[in-house]
Amino acid sequence: MPSAPTALEPATDPAPEQRGATIRPRGRVLAAVGLFWAGLMALHGLIPNGFGNLGSLFQTLLPWTGIAVPVLLGLAAVRRSRLAAVTALVPAAVWAVLFGGTLTDKSAGGADLTVVSHNVDEGNPDPAGTARALAALDAHVLALEELPTDSVEVYERALNGAYPHHAVRGGVGLWSRYPLKDVATVPIMPWTRAVRATADTPRGPVALYVAHLASVRVHPAAGFTTERRNEAARVLAAALRSEPLPRIVLMGDFNGTSRDAALAPVFSGLRSVQREAGDGFGFTWPAAFPVVRIDDIHVKGITPRSSRTLPATGSDHLPVAASLKL
């Protein structure tokens, strides 16, 4: 009969299969969070807007979703989890696919039309300074949004010398070196926030649109309030679809980014100058520390050659410029 183990004898090790059953990899929750976040990034277009327009809000801030990667890596280091560290590379890969090309300079020469769009800010403390800065630009067309009625003359005095052709309707205006004709408001809202005109350029007519979609807000209870903006976008999209000219330049403050699925009807069929010919994200708002690109330029029947943001004026938005090949 075998003798009973003494107190000095070591305890019997569990069988290998028993050891495997009791060991759990660290950081499983962090790994799950990383995979979930990567899924949201990759499938951002499928996030519904049913409650608080969370899909639009997520898409507006999409470039900043990459911040989760260093956060997950830091937590993985604290947890000493290889699993969590490796899984954090999945959202990093998704972000690289979405925005890797944005970080490269895609600008090129050979342009024959330069356009600038700027929300000059109704509360601008120095409209004369902003007007002088715009007048000094070597552009062919200026599109201005949020023009205060009592400052229109300030802009006219500063701009009319370099841009002899202009049209102002409500709070938006166009200044051009080339003749403008067929100027008409686009009724996207009860008050005028969009204008369409034909620029008679040396290379033929170009349809110019300048638009300022309704503002949006983020409320703790209501979420991302975009209903008025989205309705204005649908009206603008219908006008663009019915445009008879083959070459279109759309400029303005859209109070949303080109990745916002709710604005897809506006940008459908148009080319983003920033994505095709920009260098970096080109954030425009707020001017003091830009975090989103809500001011933009899109074209149809035209080749973007370069896109850039311009130095701050007295506005809370940065101006955006694009060089185009007709």
- Which of these three, 73, 103, 133, is where a domain ends? 103
- Both 301 and 153 in one domain: the answer is yes
- Both 47 and 165 in one domain: the answer is no
- Which of these three, 103, 138, 171, is where a domain ends? 103
- Both 135 and 87 in one domain: the answer is no
- Both 85 and 211 in one domain: the answer is no
Q: How far is CA 139 from CA 111, 202, 306, in A?
A: 11, 15, 13
Read off the CATH number of the domain in which 287 is found.
3.60.10.10
pLDDT at site 21? 47
The number of folded domains in the chain is 2
Strands 320-325 and 303-309: what pairing? antiparallel
- Both 279 and 219 in one domain: the answer is yes
Residue 201 belongs to a domain: yes
- Both 166 and 97 in one domain: the answer is no
- Both 245 and 197 in one domain: the answer is yes
Closest to 195 measured CA to CA, from 181, 177, 208, 179: 208
- The two structure tokens encoding residue 206: 């170009």
User: Is the separation of the CB atoms in 175 and 142 below 8 Å?
Assistant: yes
Q: Which amino acid is at 13?
A: D
User: Is the separation of the CB atoms in 92 and 264 below 8 Å?
Assistant: no
- Both 142 and 250 in one domain: the answer is yes
Residue 10 belongs to a domain: no
Residue 223 belongs to a domain: yes
- Both 127 and 240 in one domain: the answer is yes
Domain containing 235 equals 113-325
**Residues contacting 206, CB < 8 A, separation 6+:** 113, 198, 199, 245, 247, 248, 249, 302, 326
- Both 31 and 149 in one domain: the answer is no
- Which of these three, 81, 103, 125, is where a domain ends? 103
The rounded distance, in Å, linking the Cα atoms of 86 and 89 is 6
User: Is the separation of the CB atoms in 93 and 291 below 8 Å?
Assistant: no
- The two structure tokens encoding residue 88: 């954090």
Residue 5 belongs to a domain: no
Residue 22 belongs to a domain: yes
- Both 134 and 222 in one domain: the answer is yes
Residue 60 belongs to a domain: yes
- Both 98 and 117 in one domain: the answer is no
pLDDT tens per residue across all 326 residues of the chain: 555 555 555 555 555 445 444 556 789 999 999 999 999 999 999 999 988 899 999 999 999 999 999 999 999 999 999 999 999 999 999 999 999 999 999 999 999 999 999 999 999 999 999 999 999 999 999 999 999 999 999 999 999 999 999 999 999 999 999 999 999 999 999 999 999 999 999 999 999 999 999 999 998 878 899 999 999 999 999 999 999 999 999 999 999 999 999 999 999 999 999 999 999 999 999 999 999 999 999 999 999 999 999 999 999 999 999 999 99
Residue 108 belongs to a domain: no
